[in-house]
Amino acid sequence: MAKFDKIQVLQKMGETGMVPVFYHKDADIACAVVKACYDGGVRAFEFTNRGDFAHEVFEKAVKFAAKECPEMAVGVGSVVDPATAALYIQLGACFVVGPLFNPEISRICNRRLIPYTPGCGTISEVGVAQETGCDLCKVFPGDVLGTKFVKGLKAPMPWSKLMVPGGVEPTKENIEGWIKAGVFCVGMGSKLFPSDRVAASDWAYVTEKCRETLGYVAEARK
């Protein structure tokens, strides 16, 4: 069962403005990354559903976070079907993210008041997703659509809450561009977790990079 409900999760995402996106087949490494992000100020973490037995790693990460990172909302990404969404919800996912919009996933998530953030590539997709209860939609692929898409969508639909992964970098200029365009939060993956740093277990680097990025978000919002 999810530790935090829809309102609490969206508040965490909105207040911090950045959601790390990560996958690793080694549960110990996944847990270490969750803790490093938490120490850096992150309060919503997306574990990618990728690779064999990813749900087993996720289960361990959720249990770890419950003890070591009490205010962390751990969710799952890359979900494309309701069965997979239900599996992760049963394992404690606080939110579900996908690369596409599947209305059946909305039904599954709404039943438990768990936020579903589908990937949308057109304004119409965002509109339909909102009709099914998706309070936060993912602009995907972000690096293709860019900040102009966000500005263009927000003009006629200013109530829209948008998350963007892809095309996001932990730099002041990049973060400022997305925040000023109007996104609710950004998602960030490999730029926060360079493979060489992960291999070296340099968790202090991850913590500092998260803290630095959250600082850029806060500054851009002023």
C-alpha distance from residue 204 to each of 27, 33, 81, 177, 214 (Å)? 19, 10, 36, 27, 15
What pLDDT was estimated at residue 166? 87
Residue 83 binned pLDDT confidence (cut-offs 50, 70, 90): very high
- 87 Cβ contact partners less than 8 Å away, ≥ 6 residues apart: 55
What pLDDT was estimated at residue 161? 98
Report d(CA 56, CA 112) in Å as an integer: 21
C-alpha distance from residue 12 to each of 104, 173, 179, 181 (Å)? 25, 23, 16, 20
pTM: 0.97
pLDDT exceeds 90 at position 5: yes
Q: What is the pLDDT of residues 108-145, one digit of tens each?
A: 999 999 999 999 999 999 999 999 999 999 999 999 99
pLDDT exceeds 90 at position 36: yes
pLDDT exceeds 90 at position 200: yes
**3-state SS record for the chain:** CCCCCHHHHHHHHHHHCEEEEECCCCHHHHHHHHHHHHHCCCCEEEEECCCCCHHHHHHHHHHHHHHHCCCCEEEEECCCCHHHHHHHHHCCCCCEECCCCCHHHHHHHHHCCCCEECEECCHHHHHHHHHCCCCEEEECCHHHHHHHHHHHHHCCCCCCEEEECCCCCCCHHHHHHHHHHCCCEEEECCCCCCHHHHHCCCHHHHHHHHHHHHHHHHHHCC
Mean per-residue pLDDT for 71-92? 98
What pLDDT was estimated at residue 208? 98
pLDDT exceeds 90 at position 58: yes
Domains of the chain, CATH where assigned: 6-216 (3.20.20.70)
pLDDT exceeds 90 at position 171: yes
pLDDT exceeds 90 at position 102: yes
Contact 197, 205 (CB under 8 A): yes
Q: Which residues pair with 48 in a beta bridge?
A: 77
What pLDDT was estimated at residue 169? 94
